[in-house]
A and B are shown apart, each in its own frame.
Chain A
Amino acid sequence: MGQVSTHITPEVIQRHGLAEEEYGQILKHLGREPNMTELGIFSVMWSEHCSYKSSRVHLKRFPTEGERVVQGPGENAGAVDIGDGLSAVFKMESHNHPSFIEPFQGAATGVGGILRDIFTMGARPIALLDSLRFGELDLPKNRHLLKGVVSGISWYGNCIGVPTVGGEITFNDIYAKNPLVNVFCLGIVKTDELLLGRAGGVGNPVLYIGAKTGRDGIHGATMASDSFDDASEQKRPNVQVGDPFLEKLLLEACLEFLDQRLLVGIQDMGAAGLTSSSCEMASRAGTGIELELADVPRREPDMTPYELMLSESQERMLLVADAGKEEQVIAICRKWGIDAAVIGKVTDDGFVRIKEQGTVVAEIPAKALVDESPKYERPAKPPEYQDILQSLTIENLPDVQDAEDVLLRLLDSPTIASKAWVYRQYDHMVGIDTVVRPGSDAAVVRIKGTNKALAVTTDGNSRYCLLNPYVGGTLTVAEAARNLVCSGAQPIGVTDCLNFGNPERQDIMWQFVLAVEGIADACRTFGIPVVSGNVSLYNETNGLSIYPTPIIGMVGLIEPADRMLTQWFKKPGDRVILLGDTQEDLGGTEYLKVVHYREQGAPPWLNLETEKILHACMLRLAAEGLVQSAHDCSDGGLAVTLAESCFASQTARGKPLGATIRLDANDLRTDALLFGESPSRILLSASLEYVERVMAIAREHEVPAQEIGTVGEDRLTISVNEQPAIDMPIAALFEQWSQSLESKLSA
């Protein structure tokens, strides 16, 4: 959309992604025809990406309040009180569309964007996590996308000096033409210094700082609100280019402004750049804003107001300073070598007014762009294929014959295999807060100057969500919370990134509505508020949608910090205990996919109350220091969970340790026992002297618990009904698991 015609025709309106009735609303808001600049502004602000027009009505279901909540949804990020006068600030965002078109810069600028969301709140970012989805690695294109995304994340995160401490990656061909890149960031702020994106104080100066504005990324937000076809790779010019060094300077400068209390409000110029930052700041504060475009630092000559307002050049921020303090802001920017200019002021008339050399080129009520943007309750109904998906007669599938072979195949599956190839490229230690590095259930970062640590995890299981979106939604939240309690952390807040297909399709909308309901019910039952989030729709190429993929990011508090737990066995002779019941839960499992090539069946039903009790029990065990290790039993079932607990942590004291396990199948199939994915289970190890106490606490909480074996030696031995099922050296299991990703990538 480089050249802009001056006449607004139906074709121009359509090219801006606006529906006919939406254009009608624009006419009503303005009481006249918009000019091209105004149309451009409406089109990005009313895009799905910025306005959440299809999702807003449903997101209201999330519980967003709680004792610890300092800032709920609606700001740059959410904030939760962690005591000691500090708050944890966090959010997750998607950068799916750009990452498919240009994986390196797409992913890198995703990291840059989420970091800005955190430090605009006044928080210093201390941890990044990524949830990624790709097609299977047998296709060269998918390997290219994975490598590009990982090196983009690595480049940006390492350079700016924020550790990438965890995340998750799964592979499925449904993502081949719609890979997902969801980035989570956590920061810490003094609660009384928390800053919001508000243009307060009529007459206060509006400042622009950071990179100069160029023609890059114009209409990125509109692109992210559309489906793809084969020509989408032509949209490469819509992808922005990042500069992590500049962002590092911006980060330090912003933290200095906050330290000196120079600002009233601050907002990242992310999607829709200058447009969204100015409109949102004015709308939140109930004020207006007036900008003079001639004062905007720019990279190229002859940029039109349209281009200046819609550019998505990276590493830029819009600030509102206390009147009289603008010179101090500019001096700090000069010290850090970044551009800064006063480009406007806060007004009291509720309008966003854009001038060029004094002439008004756009004038729109801020509320029309933000609060009064369209919202839809789009029709939803289950797809016709849903019954077929859910039908699975397990009796027709043979039970496992060679459990050792199945275990090796599961450990080799890239979804389960070690991700060391990935996180070895991320600086996961800078900041020296990383107490538990990538590879355990959750990463743990200590909070300097306190006796506390935070555990962080991101989780998603799109296959469960495909088979039953509601149950999948509940399971996703449950798994994230379980990962935290297994690390000894009390969950205190949720952020989410909801990745779905085209909301104008009824089956996609049905998936969305039910998944949101599942997430909301689980968060409400567990008492964990949702404080921020992001929705990414139109993840569809050539009419094929991704599986519904809600990703949950969750933060938990550990106090004292040294009560944190990891998943790895610690000492020979320790007893292995399984909390929770194992049922015949084979629907939607990784086992069914890898061994029987089926993604079918009903996912395990999650009893929310059972899960909640399990968390309470686990936290009690951690608080009393009774267990040596705890591992969430999920992908790949009990056998994979056991193998993972045998592998060592990558720290100084980590040593691989085997285990001898005796299981009683009762009436269960062996595959369900070993590889089924019943939820609400945790695998523990504890010193012999504490076993009785562990069992007593489990009984007290009415959590089923069985002692199933002993840690030791260098083999994993599992017998079922006293018949040997698995008896393999840990070294062989480890090799399969640790080499899988690298060998598939070098194919």
Chain B
Amino acid sequence: MKWGVIVFPGSNCDRDCAHVLADVLDQDVNLIWHGDSSLGELDAVVLPGGFSYGDYLRTGAIAQLSPIMHAVQEFTRTGGLVLGICNGFQILLEAGLLPGAMLPNVGLSFICEDVRVKVENADTPFTRHYESGQVIRLPIAHAEGNYHTDPVTQAALQANAQIVFRYCRTDGTVTEQANPNGSLDNIAGIRNAAGNVLGLMPHPERCAEALLDNEDGQLLFRSMIDSVMSRQAEKPAAS
């Protein structure tokens, strides 16, 4: 299938995502410059991690104004799969494609380490290869991952099963102690109401190869591949 990875000025994980998709999962990948106005023919889009525009003003605040974001909005409306990782998640929030906002980590410092994450909803195009309640290990690397939203939105996220990943302990219990950044309700990742946009702070592309001692993140990309493939299989072939 065809993937697009958006390159904003200051994106750092664009090449990492492309490596995992192309070299590990044998996918067709385009790096798409933020100044372009069209995505071309794609099955899925990744907004990678990094420090778009140096995180100046607010994380993701300037990147969401890039020309390519109009195309991403349109792609979303037509049901295309959009994955935002770390800074990509922050951009999706700023662009209004996902609800809520990010605050600085409670400890006020950058945190880079592996955390345990519970898959709260395995019935999404991004998580179908996981099991609900499964505890996986993913790396985080951010200074602003403290997800926040208002009580009404929070209730809606809960009611619509939009909370996809929560920080947890090894045994799967969701506790304050297991929360690395102070995020509301231990939220590590959410999807939109329509279900085709996922944003998460942890980096699945950093743990998708045996040499890196952890392959837990690979299943997220495999889930997306199988979702697109099965959707294409359902559609009659274009004539």
Binds A, one of B74-82, B192-200, B204-212: B204-212
CB <8 Å contact, B51 and A159? yes
| Given contact pairs A158-B141, A429-B139, A430-B141, A650 touches B114 in the complex (Cβ within 8 A) | yes
B110 CB contact (under 8 Å) in A158, A161, A653: A158
Please report the total number of B residues contacting A with Cβ < 8 Å: 38
Q: Mark each residue of chain B from 108 to 132: 1 if its CB lies under 8 Å from any CB of chain A, else 0.
A: 0111111000000000000000000
B16 CB contact (under 8 Å) in A248, A426, A432: A432
In the bound complex, what is the Cα–Cα distance between A159 and B211 (angstroms)?
A: 25
CB <8 Å contact, A427 and B141? yes
Say yes or no for A337: interface residue by CB 8 A criterion: yes
In the bound complex, what is the Cα–Cα distance between A151 and B109 (angstroms)?
A: 8
A161 CB contact (under 8 Å) in B50, B53, B212: B50
Q: Mark each residue of chain B from 143 to 156: 1 if its CB lies under 8 Å from any CB of chain A, else 0.
A: 10000000000000
Say yes or no for A243: interface residue by CB 8 A criterion: yes
CB <8 Å contact, B112 and A428? yes
B:39-80 near A, CB below 8 Å: 49-51, 53-56
In the bound complex, what is the Cα–Cα distance between A434 and B19 (angstroms)?
A: 14
Q: How far is the CB of B220 from chain A (nearest CB, A)?
A: 15
CB <8 Å contact, A435 and B53? no
| Given contact pairs A158-B141, A161-B50, A561-B211, A249 touches B16 in the complex (Cβ within 8 A) | no
Q: How far is the CB of A293 from chain B (nearest CB, A)?
A: 29
| Given contact pairs A161-B12, A424-B113, A432 touches B51 in the complex (Cβ within 8 A) | no
Q: How far is the CB of B19 from chain A (nearest CB, A)?
A: 6
In the bound complex, what is the Cα–Cα distance between A244 and B50 (angstroms)?
A: 12
Q: How far is the CB of A569 from chain B (nearest CB, A)?
A: 16
Q: How far is the CB of A653 from chain B (nearest CB, A)?
A: 6
CB <8 Å contact, B54 and A159? yes
Residues in chain A near residue B15, CB distance under 8 A: 431
CB <8 Å contact, B51 and A429? no
Q: How far is the CB of B175 from chain A (nearest CB, A)?
A: 20
CB <8 Å contact, B111 and A430? no
Residues in chain A near residue B166, CB distance under 8 A: none
Q: How far is the CB of B54 from chain A (nearest CB, A)?
A: 3
Residues in chain B near residue A429, CB distance under 8 A: 112, 139, 141, 203, 206
Residues in chain B near residue A335, CB distance under 8 A: 33, 35
Say yes or no for B137: interface residue by CB 8 A criterion: yes
**A-B CB contacts (within 8 Å), total count:** 95
In the bound complex, what is the Cα–Cα distance between A430 and B15 (angstroms)?
A: 10
| Given contact pairs A429-B203, A429-B206, A432-B19, A651 touches B51 in the complex (Cβ within 8 A) | no
In the bound complex, what is the Cα–Cα distance between A653 and B33 (angstroms)?
A: 38
Residue of A nearest to B50 (CB): A161
In the bound complex, what is the Cα–Cα distance between A424 and B20 (angstroms)?
A: 24
Say yes or no for B93: interface residue by CB 8 A criterion: no
Residues in chain B near residue A424, CB distance under 8 A: 111-113
Say yes or no for B10: interface residue by CB 8 A criterion: yes
A:645-659 near B, CB below 8 Å: 650-653
In the bound complex, what is the Cα–Cα distance between A423 and B112 (angstroms)?
A: 8
CB <8 Å contact, A425 and B206? no
Say yes or no for A562: interface residue by CB 8 A criterion: yes
A430 CB contact (under 8 Å) in B16, B209, B212: B16
CB <8 Å contact, A448 and B19? yes
Residue of B nearest to A564 (CB): B211
Say yes or no for A154: interface residue by CB 8 A criterion: yes
Residues in chain B near residue A337, CB distance under 8 A: 9
CB <8 Å contact, A161 and B51? yes
Q: How far is the CB of B124 from chain A (nearest CB, A)?
A: 24
Residues in chain A near residue B13, CB distance under 8 A: 161, 430
Residues in chain A near residue B51, CB distance under 8 A: 158-161, 244-245, 248
B20 CB contact (under 8 Å) in A244, A430, A432, A652: A432
In the bound complex, what is the Cα–Cα distance between A161 and B206 (angstroms)?
A: 13
A:146-162 near B, CB below 8 Å: 151, 154-155, 158-161
B:183-239 near A, CB below 8 Å: 203, 205-207, 209, 211-214, 216
Q: What does DSSP make chain B's interface, helix, strand, loop or mixed?
A: mixed
Residues in chain A near residue B213, CB distance under 8 A: 435, 651-653
Q: Mark each residue of chain A from 533 to 549: 1 if its CB lies under 8 Å from any CB of chain B, else 0.
A: 00000000000000000
Residues in chain B near residue A244, CB distance under 8 A: 51, 54
Residues in chain B near residue A430, CB distance under 8 A: 12-13, 16, 49, 141
In the bound complex, what is the Cα–Cα distance between A244 and B137 (angstroms)?
A: 30
Please report the total number of A residues contacting B with Cβ < 8 Å: 36
In the bound complex, what is the Cα–Cα distance between A155 and B51 (angstroms)?
A: 11
Say yes or no for A23: interface residue by CB 8 A criterion: no
Say yes or no for B23: interface residue by CB 8 A criterion: yes
In the bound complex, what is the Cα–Cα distance between A248 and B56 (angstroms)?
A: 14
Say yes or no for A336: interface residue by CB 8 A criterion: yes
B:73-119 near A, CB below 8 Å: 109-114
A:216-268 near B, CB below 8 Å: 243-246, 248-249
| Given contact pairs A161-B12, A427-B110, A432-B205, A651 touches B54 in the complex (Cβ within 8 A) | no
Residues in chain B near residue A448, CB distance under 8 A: 19, 23
Residues in chain B near residue A423, CB distance under 8 A: 112
CB <8 Å contact, A159 and B139? no
Residue of B nearest to A566 (CB): B213
CB <8 Å contact, A651 and B114? yes
Residues in chain A near residue B35, CB distance under 8 A: 335
Say yes or no for A446: interface residue by CB 8 A criterion: yes
In the bound complex, what is the Cα–Cα distance between A471 and B206 (angstroms)?
A: 42
Residues in chain A near residue B50, CB distance under 8 A: 161
Q: How far is the CB of B212 from chain A (nearest CB, A)?
A: 7
| Given contact pairs A161-B12, A161-B50, A432-B19, A562 touches B110 in the complex (Cβ within 8 A) | no
Residues in chain A near residue B110, CB distance under 8 A: 154-155, 158, 425-427
In the bound complex, what is the Cα–Cα distance between A249 and B23 (angstroms)?
A: 26
| Given contact pairs A432-B212, A446-B211, A653-B213, A248 touches B112 in the complex (Cβ within 8 A) | no
Q: How far is the CB of A567 from chain B (nearest CB, A)?
A: 15
Residues in chain B near residue A431, CB distance under 8 A: 15-16
Q: How far is the CB of B81 from chain A (nearest CB, A)?
A: 22
A425 CB contact (under 8 Å) in B112, B114, B212: B112
Residue of A nearest to B54 (CB): A245
A:76-117 near B, CB below 8 Å: none
Residues in chain A near residue B216, CB distance under 8 A: 652
B:3-49 near A, CB below 8 Å: 9-10, 12-13, 15-16, 19-20, 23, 33, 35, 49
Q: How far is the CB of B187 from chain A (nearest CB, A)?
A: 21
B53 CB contact (under 8 Å) in A154, A245, A561: A245
- Give the residue among B20, B112, B205 with the most A Cβ atoms within 10 A: B112
Q: How far is the CB of A51 from chain B (nearest CB, A)?
A: 35
CB <8 Å contact, B112 and A426? yes
CB <8 Å contact, B54 and A425? no
B:132-186 near A, CB below 8 Å: 137, 139, 141, 143
In the bound complex, what is the Cα–Cα distance between A561 and B15 (angstroms)?
A: 21
Q: How far is the CB of B17 from chain A (nearest CB, A)?
A: 9
Residue of B nearest to A420 (CB): B113
CB <8 Å contact, A159 and B10? yes
Residues in chain A near residue B143, CB distance under 8 A: 158
CB <8 Å contact, B54 and A652? no
A:443-459 near B, CB below 8 Å: 446, 448
Residues in chain B near residue A161, CB distance under 8 A: 12-13, 50-51
- 12 additional A-B residue pairs with CB within 8 Å, beyond A248-B12, A427-B112: A158-B110, A158-B112, A159-B51, A159-B55, A245-B53, A245-B55, A248-B9, A426-B112, A429-B206, A432-B19, A561-B211, A652-B114
Could you tell me which B residues sit within 8 Å of A by CB distance?
Answer: 9-10, 12-13, 15-16, 19-20, 23, 33, 35, 49-51, 53-56, 109-114, 137, 139, 141, 143, 203, 205-207, 209, 211-214, 216
Q: Which 6 A-B pairs have the closest CB atoms?
A: A245-B54, A161-B12, A651-B213, A652-B214, A159-B51, A427-B141
20 A-B residue pairs with Cβ-Cβ distance under 8 Å, sorted by A, are A155-B110, A158-B141, A158-B143, A161-B51, A245-B53, A248-B9, A248-B12, A249-B9, A335-B33, A336-B9, A424-B112, A425-B109, A425-B110, A429-B141, A429-B206, A430-B12, A432-B16, A435-B211, A448-B19, A652-B114
